[in-house]
Amino acid sequence: MNAEWRRLVEAAKEARERAYAPYSRFKVGAALLGASGRIYTGCNVENASYGATWCAERTAVGAAIAGGERSFTAIAVVADTGGPCAPCGICRQVLAEFGQEIAVIMANLRGDVEVRRVRELLPFGFGKEALAPEGVSERDADG
């Protein structure tokens, strides 16, 4: 694992400490690396209705989008799990919106790490190309 990815894992661990998880007590941290080199962090934010809960990965993506970033190279996800912590299906879909080649660095507090690309975690994922009518470029569809 290169130094940049190690820095992401450390940022995700720090974000994990700020998680709001009063129901599950399962704290997750994420750190998303923008193409600009900027790191955006997120943690899970639970809600009593459960369905309104935000995952750490989506919180980080939201922070990045709010910060004006739309291109990402890697994301680290960290939790206190037996093996490396993988993003849930919804988070995989959200990451796929921004690129199939984003490196997903899955880690736990013990130092176990596994790296995969979004395309590996979400084969046959649904993408914006399925929605774009013929003749409309991705840039036109993006607004």
DSSP labels, 42-100: EE-B--TTSTT-B-HHHHHHHHHHHTT---EEEEEEEES-SSPPPPPHHHHHHHHTT-T
Q: Rounded CA gap, 18 and 45, in Å?
A: 9
The reply to whether 57 belongs to the active site is yes
Q: Rounded CA gap, 20 and 68, in Å?
A: 25
Residue carrying structure tokens 């997750």: 28
Of 10, 14, 46, 57, which one is the catalytic site residue?
57
Count of domains for the chain: 1
Q: What is the mean pLDDT of residues 97-112?
A: 97
pLDDT digits (tens, 9 = 90+) for 42-76: 999 999 999 999 999 999 999 999 999 999 999 99
Mean pLDDT (the chain, rounded): 93
Its domain, for residue 66, covers 3-141
CATH code of 61's domain: 3.40.140.10
